[in-house]
Amino acid sequence: MNILIAASEAAPLAKTGGLADVCGALPKALAQLGHNVALIIPAYRSTKKFPSEPTGVELKISIAGREVRGTYRKCFIPEIGVPVYLVEHNGYFDRDGLYNSDNEDYADNCERFVFFSYAVLEAIRLLNLQVDVIHLNDWQTGLIAALQTIYYRDKPGYEKIAVLFTIHNIAYQGVFPASAMTLTGLHWKYFNWLQMECFDHLNLLKTGIVFSDGITTVSPNYAREITSSPGGCGLEDVLRARRDVLWGITNGIDVEEWNPETDKFLENHYTAATRSEGKTACKLDLQNRMDLPRRADVPVIGLVGRLTEQKGFDLAVELIYRKAAAGEDIQWVLLGSGDPILENRLRELASRYSQNVAVSIRYSNELAHQIIAGSDIFLMPSRFEPCGLTQLYSLRYGTIPVVHATGGLVDTVRDLNPETEAAKTATGILFCNADIQGITWGIDQALNIYRNRPNVWKQMQETAMNLDTSWKQSAGKYAELYKKIRRNRPET
């Protein structure tokens, strides 16, 4: 099958979070299954570090009566040779950030992604791409579903293209003032509560949900959560109306990039069989790097993520203050950036308890790998989590995840209880409430097993490291769905 994946970020070219990991790894997995895959993303400043060629093809798009011109560049995902088309318009995309800088969203985000949306559909014609399915991701691409249905479907070459829309995070909906409707080039009649309008605003995520042939989200549990309140963030009714074509497919991980046996960011490598010495060496390295006392016997708890309300770092901060004040022998290593208030709270915490807490406020893929390898426990107190990738990375590195029982964390971490202990299927600890009692309970459980039941701990590590978290299965499920939505399209 011929698949075009459109997204606003893809690793390693441009990344702010897990969306990029997925859009970098899924095309490779689909190509390995024998599909003909191409990826299309904006040519941000960060993409310019990678070699690419101009295609020489120009595009012209009319936005609110103005002609806007751009071009396409082309590069390849290394090794597997998946082509990546980069939509180039330096005014829109050659900026410091992808969507914002200094925590302020770019004022022209709607226009930027309207341009990108047209550029994706125009690429099919201008670059002569063979496409059976366009796979869209998140609000930045939602308009493409409407444009394909309303404008392009009748054009030669577009008649049989089906559209799959994946929701990675329903909390980000691409909401703009009603006046932004004029940028889309679509008739005002589509600005109604059943299609593109939501609480008097233009809503591009809703647009994607309404106009696509099929919808997925990134775990089965999150697929259930978003069809009711509060999980649906106001779009639960829209999703319920499309329940027949809504599926949850759990994300996989790039098992080449995240492999403790070969990880290029680690000085020491290990397998499930050598994890005991291997992880200790990684732990000592991490302590060294983070200026913490070098001790193999102290439990190290790691956190990595965007500093937003979603990730629950504020709960972790409260927990760490309590544990440190009580003099508990634990080391904490935190990596993240985002909310400036939270960034400051983390800095204060680290300066107050410098023997127990190390904080790095930045984006560093290298350090993320080192924390995930060198910690004993990985904490994810997310208030909600569509899938989550860092717990999957942790599992593969034998770092036991302690997670809030929400979204994809429920689908990917198997809680330790008498049954799972006996069956040797447990891989982590889930706690029920995202509050200080919940997180304390979860961490205390984990510490108790770590300190007092080393055999159970080792078994959990072994089970976790032997799980198949690769993309293979999930890529197969996407391929099935592509087929299904093509069959179900009214005109085919």
Residue 212 as a binder of ligand GLC (CB under 6 A): the answer is no
Report the C-alpha gap between 260 and 340 in whole angstroms. 33
Question: In whole angstroms, how large is the CA radius of gyration of the chain?
Answer: 23
Report the C-alpha gap between 471 and 474 in whole angstroms. 5
Of 119 and 430, which has the nearer Cβ to ligand ADP? 430
Phi, psi angles (nearest 5°) of residue 74: -135, 135
Contacting ligand GLC within 469-488 (CB under 6 A): none
Of 306, 383, 477, 484, the one binding ligand ADP by CB under 6 A: 306
Report the C-alpha gap between 467 and 470 in whole angstroms. 9
CB 482 within 8 A of CB 162: yes
CB 204 within 8 A of CB 140: yes
Hey, is 61 helix, strand or coil? Answer: strand
Residue 333: closest CA among 302, 378, 364:
302
User: Whose CB is nearest to ligand ADP?
Assistant: 18
Q: What is the DSSP string of 81-93?
A: TEEEEEEE-HHHH
Helix (H) or strand (E) holding 462: helix 454-466
Q: How many other CB atoms sit within 10 Å of the CB of residue 78?
A: 10
How far apart are CB 335 and ligand ADP at their closest, in Å? 5
Of 251, 268, 360, 470, the one binding ligand GLC by CB under 6 A: 251
Hey, is 13 helix, strand or coil? Answer: coil
Contacting ligand ADP within 155-194 (CB under 6 A): none
Of 17 and 83, which has the nearer Cβ to ligand GLC? 17
Of 4, 136, 357, 389, the one binding ligand GLC by CB under 6 A: 389
Of 24, 231, 336, 438, the one binding ligand ADP by CB under 6 A: 336
Residue 373 as a binder of ligand GLC (CB under 6 A): the answer is no
Hey, is 390 helix, strand or coil? Answer: helix
User: Whose CB is nearest to ligand GLC?
Assistant: 18
Please, how many CA atoms are within 13 Å of residue 15, restricted to the half-sphere of its CB? 18
Hey, is 329 helix, strand or coil? Answer: coil
Contacting ligand ADP within 345-384 (CB under 6 A): 363-365, 368
Of 42, 248, 305, 312, the one binding ligand ADP by CB under 6 A: 305
Hey, is 182 helix, strand or coil? Answer: helix
Residue 477 as a binder of ligand ADP (CB under 6 A): the answer is no
Residue 386 as a binder of ligand GLC (CB under 6 A): the answer is yes
Of 185 and 305, which has the nearer Cβ to ligand ADP? 305
Of 388, 398, 401, 428, the one binding ligand GLC by CB under 6 A: 388
Pick one of ligand GLC, ligand ADP, none as the site partner of residue 218 (Cβ within 5 to 8 A by kind): ligand GLC
- Distance between start and end Cα atoms, the chain: 15
Q: Given the rule CB under 6 A, which of 17-25, 97-105, 197-205, 442-450 is the region that contacts ligand GLC?
A: 17-25
Of 268 and 391, which has the nearer Cβ to ligand GLC? 391
Site string for ligand ADP, 10-49 (x = CB under 6 A): -------xxx-x----------------------------
Pick one of ligand ADP, ligand GLC, none as the site partner of residue 137 (Cβ within 5 to 8 A by kind): none
Which distant-in-sequence residues (6+ apart) come within 8 Å of 344 by Cβ? none
| Per-position b or e across 301-317, b if 16+ CB within 10 A of its CB | bbbbbebbebbbbbbbb
Question: How far is CA 23 from each of CA 20, 89, 166, 214, 315, rounded to the nearest angstrom?
Answer: 5, 21, 11, 18, 30
Which distant-in-sequence residues (6+ apart) come within 8 Å of 152 by Cβ? 121, 158, 161
Residue 403 as a binder of ligand ADP (CB under 6 A): the answer is no
Of 23 and 123, which has the nearer Cβ to ligand GLC? 23
Please, how many CA atoms are within 13 Å of residue 229, restricted to the half-sphere of its CB? 2
Of 144 and 167, which has the nearer Cβ to ligand GLC? 167
Residue 41 as a binder of ligand GLC (CB under 6 A): the answer is no
Residue 387 as a binder of ligand GLC (CB under 6 A): the answer is yes
Residue 22 as a binder of ligand GLC (CB under 6 A): the answer is yes
Of 169, 250, 406, 463, the one binding ligand GLC by CB under 6 A: 169
How far apart are CB 411 and ligand GLC at their closest, in Å? 11
Residue 389 as a binder of ligand ADP (CB under 6 A): the answer is yes
Number of residues that bind ligand ADP (CB under 6 A): 17
Pick one of ligand GLC, ligand ADP, none as the site partner of residue 390 (Cβ within 5 to 8 A by kind): ligand ADP
Please, how many CA atoms are within 13 Å of residue 106, restricted to the half-sphere of its CB? 17
Of 306 and 484, which has the nearer Cβ to ligand ADP? 306
Of 385 and 415, which has the nearer Cβ to ligand GLC? 385
Please, how many CA atoms are within 13 Å of residue 421, restricted to the half-sphere of its CB? 10
- Contacts with ligand GLC by CB under 6 A lie at 17-19, 22, 168-169, 218, 251, 385-389
